[in-house]
Structure 1
Amino acid sequence: MCKKSFSQKHHLNDHKHIHTREKPYHCEICGKSFFTSTALNTHKRIHTGEKPYHCDICGKSFSHKSSLSKHRSIHTGERPYHCEICGKSFSQKNDLNLHIRIHTGEKPYHCDICGKSFSTSRTLSTHKHILTRERPYHCEICGKSFFTSSALNTHKRIHTGEKPYHCDICGKSFSHSSSFSNHRNIHTGERPCLCQICGKSFTNKSKLKRHIYIHTGEKPHCCNICGKSFSQKNDLNKHIRIHTGEKPFHCDI
């Protein structure tokens, strides 16, 4: 028994669905099911595009109250929730709870198709879409489809040109939170991505991945003209000029 109490009977009934795993609320558009009517109504905003929560600082709108709360921390820079294990800070308590699972190894969400386990419900949902090849999130501008709503929202910025992530040090703006995070590391000098082989650290995962090729000898970038392979894409681009004869650097003297 969890002994949780509620002021409204329908809240209790919805809560019980979590224990019974019953999902009686169904989206008539995509068929997805939910434990509570509130969760269903929130989900429907993906289809309708409704964004009832507005930032009073920059005017940006959001479909979820939690998304607005997370967005506000971009303006304030506040990160009040700290991991006691590694010291990393977060603007949202839920983000801290998810982060802690990296340390504990907890993976409470299980795929009923293949049995694989995940630390978050979102990664489980994305995993299932990949297994079934289902791409339920569609761009109404170009028709491209995506596995997750976040991938769709990020894609839409190609059309809108929106860059919601702003660096308060140099003023540069970014369309992706990952690009913003990587950029911020340049200012702070933080290198959170550590090579487990030699101990060298990097500002972002893509640089670490390229570095690891030095250790593994992997050369994933192949010339489609002569077949020669390279560990770095930049080296492949330079090599291709041998075949094309391109000389893009001109002396202006």
Structure 2
Amino acid sequence: MEFKQEPCSIKDEETEQQIDLTEVEEKHHPFQKPQQNTQKMEFEEEPCSIKDEETEQQIDLMEQSEVEKKKHKLQKPRQNTKRRAAECSCICAQCGKSFAHNSSLKKHMRIHTGEKPFICHQCGKSFTWEGSLTKHLQFHSGKRPFGCDQCDKTFILAEQLKRHMKFHAGVKPYVCSVCGKCFSLLDHLRQHERIHSGVKPHACFDCGKSFTSSGDLKTHQRIHTGEKPYKCSYCGQRFAQSGDMKAHERSHTGEKPYKCSHCGKSFSRLGTLKDHERVHTGEKPHKCSHCGKSFSRLGTLKDHERVHTGEKPYKCSHCGQSFSLSGTLKDHERVHTGEKPHQCSSCGKSFRRLSHLRTHEKKYCPKLKVLSREHPTRAAVLEML
């Protein structure tokens, strides 16, 4: 079966990944044969757009923990009574679990084989159980019937609302044994603990790089695929991450909701504010595991680590040349496009790179040389740029 690669516009990636987490066996009666999904489903609704990538990473962690619990449970031997042994004639060859009907055994085997026979005919996503597909179809309907009574946020599933309410309650019962940080959800704690343990179970098949969460891996893989599922509603520009799109849209609205408590400067991104505040505090929390050098920004650390690993994830779409920094790739691509966005304000000459413009302004601009003779103070200021 083939599917057209159309962008799945799921409204809330948090809800999309919650389906994967809550995917469990349909609870039929032990002696009741489950109904098969024989009807082909057709939909007229357009897929909704993805919005929340941060929660996807949390949901993936929850899904992984649930699978581990299920497998651990299957490893425990079951002590059946004589009556149950007579009833349960179908036994799983991999874990020894018994079932009264062969159909129940076949459904159970999907845990071991990874089979996902139930497919959404709108976006192509597949599921292990029919009940999970039924829940998934609610995303395409666009209905969000479960609303929070403390804020205006709405959800598709009741499980999501219950999970959300924990944040309002402020209860954080899960404590990190290493640093003491508290979390409201066990999955958040487990993801955090990987920072201390260094465990990165999710590896990229293209370059081999590993990540602590499946959400981080999916985001990284867009570097290789070029996928940009998030579209700006103002100008149509596309982004690989929802956070980048939201921050970009603030360039249209002028919104800067994040304010520095030290100097009052405002920012459109929370991450930019945190990086800025380290100018005041001098904090450098991001340490290179290869040489021990510390950095105030995580992005700077990642760029630095490529010096040690030799990784060059940014590939030119014109000639195939690879680069370790996205900025270097952008400068290189202008060789192909001829774009020169950096213009001298004095003589109007344009350059591909900002560094070239700065060099021009300091040493070669003829108008600035005249300016330096007539207005030495202003020229000195330009030299400091």
Gaps of 5+ in 1: 221-230, 232-253
Report which stretch shifted further, 106-115 or 193-202.
193-202
SS of residue in 2 equivalent to 1:206: helix
The aligned counterpart of 1:91 is 240
The aligned counterpart of 2:82 is none
Offset, 1:197: 6.8
146 and 11 in structure 1: CA distance in 2 versus 1, 3 angstrom threshold: same
Between Structure 1 and Structure 2, how many residues are aligned? Answer: 218
38 and 119 in structure 1: CA distance in 2 versus 1, 3 angstrom threshold: farther
The aligned counterpart of 1:235 is none
TM-score, structure 1 as length reference: 0.67
Looking at structure 2, the residues matched to 74 and 105 of structure 1 have their Cα atoms a distance apart, in angstroms, of: 28
Q: Relative CO higher for 1 or 2, CA cutoff 8 Å, sep ≥ 6? A: 2
Does 2:126 correspond to 1:126?
A: no
The aligned counterpart of 1:58 is 207
The aligned counterpart of 1:227 is none
* Aligned amino acid, residue 172 of structure 1: Q
Q: Percent identity?
A: 45
**1:147-206 superposed Cα distances (whole Å, 9 cap, x missing partner):** 122222221122222222222432322111211222123223344456677765543443
The aligned counterpart of 1:181 is 330
CA contact (8 A) 1:26 1:34 kept: yes
CA contact (8 A) 1:23 1:34 kept: yes
Looking at structure 2, the residues matched to 25 and 191 of structure 1 have their Cα atoms a distance apart, in angstroms, of: 53
**1:17-38 superposed Cα distances (whole Å, 9 cap, x missing partner):** 6xx7x98877666677777654
Does 2:166 correspond to 1:2?
A: no
**1:185-238 superposed Cα distances (whole Å, 9 cap, x missing partner):** 322334445667776554344344445555663234xxxxxxxxxx9xxxxxxx
Name which one, 1 or 2, has greater alpha-carbon Rg.
2
Looking at structure 1, the residues matched to 161 and 236 of structure 2 have their Cα atoms a distance apart, in angstroms, of: 41
Question: Which one of the candidate residues 102, 105, 112 is aligned to 2:254?
Answer: 105
- Mapping 1:4-153, distance limit 5 Å: 4-5=154-155, 6-7=158-159, 11-16=163-168, 38-39=187-188, 41-153=190-302
Looking at structure 2, the residues matched to 41 and 50 of structure 1 have their Cα atoms a distance apart, in angstroms, of: 11
Looking at structure 1, the residues matched to 321 and 292 of structure 2 have their Cα atoms a distance apart, in angstroms, of: 30
* Aligned amino acid, residue 70 of structure 1: T
Looking at structure 2, the residues matched to 153 and 40 of structure 1 have their Cα atoms a distance apart, in angstroms, of: 24
**1:41-98 superposed Cα distances (whole Å, 9 cap, x missing partner):** 4444444333232223333322344432332222222334333544433223332111
* Aligned amino acid, residue 277 of structure 2: K
TM-score, structure 2 as length reference: 0.47
Looking at structure 2, the residues matched to 193 and 44 of structure 1 have their Cα atoms a distance apart, in angstroms, of: 45
Gaps of 5+ in 2: 1-150, 369-377
Looking at structure 1, the residues matched to 341 and 193 of structure 2 have their Cα atoms a distance apart, in angstroms, of: 37
